[in-house]
Structure 1
């Protein structure tokens, strides 16, 4: 009887375990391959313009670095800024432009949370965008720095748009 009880609970345990692992396998994640495609697209976009060289960072949903690329001649001071933009958009999954509006305000209205700018590694200017699947699941973020903020953001958006089909 003890053997049957042991066998029964073992089967139940492995059944539940298989269901849990199956659920884990379905969670979309940022891959190095996807990050490379995005960085390549951003570099292509920059090559079609007269923008200054860029630093490009891609992080996963936990704000851990997946890929960083510094173009020849890119401003060294913006290396950390690109990474901070990516991390900011992963931690608070909105564009860093929106974070700037929350902190500094918009259209003459004051910011709602001005103290947010004092949080370590949180940046409040354009160039960081969350990367989400078609159903809205956050898989990471991209941060671009080196050109003007609007150009950084345009490049980041171009990178995301270039892999839209892979984000389904």
Structure 2
């Protein structure tokens, strides 16, 4: 191989490796500090309304990043918040849509009625995914109140870090 060809091949290889490294550097990832701020925003809403919630925040792979159970929250709300967060992250959509898919808007049957029968699948509102303008980061799951209260509390958690999700 001629020296010019060797140099050109090496330059191309290094360029490709450098581009791949930059792609990894620019992908947003959920960190513990942001997850704690989300939980604090959710807790503030819950305290304002007199709700006692369990809050779970997972990353884009549905791995737990942060969990908090407020004093007096139902024991089962801990597991439900986790399932809502995981399901929302895995499907990248709010869990309130799963309820609609399973039961329909009129509660007389949805497009995917078997969805509610899947083990570990929660069809209750309260799980909401979040992302930056270009990267999916994860989901928050909240349980302890009525489903609409759980969803409102979860949204308050996302709103608390909205400025960070650019």
State the TM-score, normalized to the length of structure 2.
0.91
What is the correspondence of 1:74-113 to structure 2 with a 5 Å cutoff?
A: 74-113=73-112
Shift of 1:7: 4.6
Contact 2:126 2:150 in 1 (8 A): yes
Contact 1:38 1:162 in 2 (8 A): yes
Provide the secondary structure at the position in 2 that maps to 1:22.
helix
Contact 1:103 1:114 in 2 (8 A): yes
Greater displacement, 1-10 / 79-88: 1-10
Provide the secondary structure at the position in 1 that maps to 2:137.
strand
How many pairs were matched up? 166
Tell me the equivalent position of 2:60.
Answer: 61
Contact 2:102 2:113 in 1 (8 A): yes
Contact 2:128 2:139 in 1 (8 A): yes
Shift of 1:149: 1.1
Tell me the equivalent position of 1:152.
Answer: 150
Quote the Cα distance in structure 2 between the aligned partners of 1:10 and 1:69. 51
1:15-62 CA-partner distances (Å, limit 9, x unpaired):
1111011011111221111111000111111111222x2110000111
In structure 2, relative to structure 1, the CA distance for the partners of 1:40 and 1:104 (3 Å cut) is same
State the TM-score, normalized to the length of structure 1.
0.90
Contact 1:87 1:121 in 2 (8 A): no
Q: 1:140 aligns with which of 109, 130, 138?
A: 138
1:94-139 CA-partner distances (Å, limit 9, x unpaired):
111111000111125521001112333221011110112235x321
Correspondence 1:30 to 2:30: yes
Shift of 1:8: 4.1
Gaps spanning 5+ residues in structure 2: where?
A: none
